[in-house]
Amino acid sequence: MEECPFCGIANKKIPSLVVYEDDNFMAILDIRPANKGHTILFPKKHKTSIFDLNNSETNKIFYIAKQLIKNVKATTNCDGVNLVYSIGEAAGQRVPHMIIHIIPRNKGDKVAITWEPQKISEEEFKKIAEELLKANKNISEKVIEEKKEKIITEEELKKIKPAEIIEIEPREPKYW
Ligand SMILES: [Zn+2]
């Protein structure tokens, strides 16, 4: 059986430069870094994706990511940080283990996270927004338990023109 490389790193069969470790999570320096300080955070147990983590583990991994970002920023003195997490081969997941990349960024560096903006009709925009808003209702019910914050209604959503949103936030295709 061929072992997962990140399981190998977690149980120290594969050497790595560890920059953080607790009972359940580990962070190492990427051996093929996009920039100095490029860190990979992952659960020590084999988990294919975030969907294999329970809520407490999910909270912990993103809490650790937040602290790692803060420290990598202070240590490398970078201008910014990208958090890159890919789910599935189509998205660029190359290992069968959940890993989160923390990439320090500097103005004019050689890192590019790109896409070509797609043309979507206003009708399609609204349709997908409505579907997602509906699907996402159960999140707000769970997340906003005490606060009872006002959630955008479907009526309000219809008033927003996607074209206006695009004009407010012009996006360079090669950098975001
Ligand atoms: Zn693994």
Which residues pair with residue 19 across a beta bridge?
A: none
Instruction: For 13-30, write each residue's pLDDT tens digit.
Output: 999 999 999 999 999 999
How many angstroms separate the alpha carbon of residue 11 from the centre of ligand 1? Answer: 10
Instruction: For 126-170, write each residue's pLDDT tens digit.
Output: 999 999 999 999 887 777 664 555 667 777 777 776 665 555 555
Token pair in block for residue 129 = 């927004």
Q: Which of 65, 69, 30, 61 is nearest to 44 (CA)?
A: 61
Question: How far is C-alpha 152 from the chain's CA centre?
Answer: 24
How many angstroms separate the alpha carbon of residue 166 from the centre of ligand 1? Answer: 40
Range(s) for CATH 3.30.428.10 in the chain?
5-105
How many angstroms separate the alpha carbon of residue 13 from the centre of ligand 1? Answer: 12
User: Average pLDDT over the chain, rounded to whole?
Assistant: 89
Q: Is the pLDDT at 81 greater than 60, yes or no?
A: yes
Give the model's confidence band at 110: pLDDT under 50 very low, under 70 low, under 90 confident, else very high.
very high
How many angstroms separate the alpha carbon of residue 72 from the centre of ligand 1? Answer: 24
How many angstroms separate the alpha carbon of residue 98 from the centre of ligand 1? Answer: 8
Return the CATH number of 5-105, one of 3.40.50.10860, 3.10.20.30, 3.40.140.10, 3.30.428.10.
Answer: 3.30.428.10
How many angstroms separate the alpha carbon of residue 120 from the centre of ligand 1? Answer: 38
